[in-house]
Amino acid sequence: MSSQPNSAAKVTVRKLLQMKADKEKIVCLTAYDVSFAKLLDAAGVDVVLVGDSLGMVMQGLDNTLAVTMDDMVYHSRCVAKGLERALLMVDMPFMSHITPQIALQNAGRLMKESAAHIVKLEGGSEQQEVVTALTSNGIPVCAHLGLQPQRVHKLGGYRVQGREADRAERMLKEASILEQAGADVLLLECVPAALATKITEAVSIPVIGIGAGTDVDGQILVLQDILGITPGRAPKFSKDFMQGADSIQTAIQNYVDAVKARTFPQQEHIF
């Protein structure tokens, strides 16, 4: 049974908050162009993220660090043309939000030039002033904790975050700090399921997970991962939904249905 939406009513930040309250799973996927944006929108994806992951999956880079604001504006503008219902979330790239003033200038570009509905930025409590500056100026924010790809060199690679008790406690506190600063949504990446559950219960804002277990309010994956076209070994938290599907549209729809029905993620996708 398809979970395709019954109406074309736009998904908003307020709608995501209501979905958390109603315990309706939020479905998110990345997209970087208008063609795939249309497919995701038609399948009932709630949030489409133009991630700085485009540096790796679209530009062939080793990480996300070289992605520019111009890259984000360009790809976001393309994706926006393909969306009628889904909320458009856009990443703030590396070094684009190092001060409140710089963050306001760059987030403003994303909102004005590429029709973003919400911006996402990596970082913990050190981003408190930035989050407050953005949200107090009418720019919705998704905070990003756990594995932060823009800090790959500092972290020593792409590693699960929050396994140690002290780091888990710190992440829990930072989630509350970011919510109090005004964050509208929180994304947790590569976090042990038990910790993700605690954070989801501790904050009132929607929590989206990628490799963060089943109890978060929503799930997000990289589009290329669910289509099985990512070079090399697929991440543990992902699943190839092209297996058994007769088309790309079917694969995307199967992902949407699996998240809504709580059949994804399964134990093999969880830390």
- For the beta carbon of residue 15, count every other beta carbon within 10 angstroms: 16
Express as a percent the part of the chain with pLDDT over 90. 93
Place of tokens 């208008």: 34
Q: What is the pTM of this model?
A: 0.95
Q: Give the pLDDT confidence of 17-27 residue by residue, as tens digits.
A: 999 999 999 99
Q: How confident is the model at residue 1 (pLDDT cuts 50, 70, 90)?
A: very low
Q: What b/e readout covers 187-217, taking b as 16+ CB neighbours within 10 angstroms?
A: bbbbbbbebbbbbbeebebbbbbbbbbbbbb
Nearest to 30 by CA among 230, 191, 193, 200: 230
pLDDT higher than 80, residue 91: yes
Per-residue burial over 235-245, b = 16 or more CB atoms within 10 Å of its CB, e = otherwise: bebbbebbeeb
Tracing tokens 């929050």 back to the chain, one arrives at: 162
Instruction: Give catalytic residue positions.
Output: 189
Distance CA 96, CA 249 (A): 34
pLDDT for residue 108: 98
What domains lie within the chain, and their CATH numbers? Answer: 13-263 (3.20.20.60)
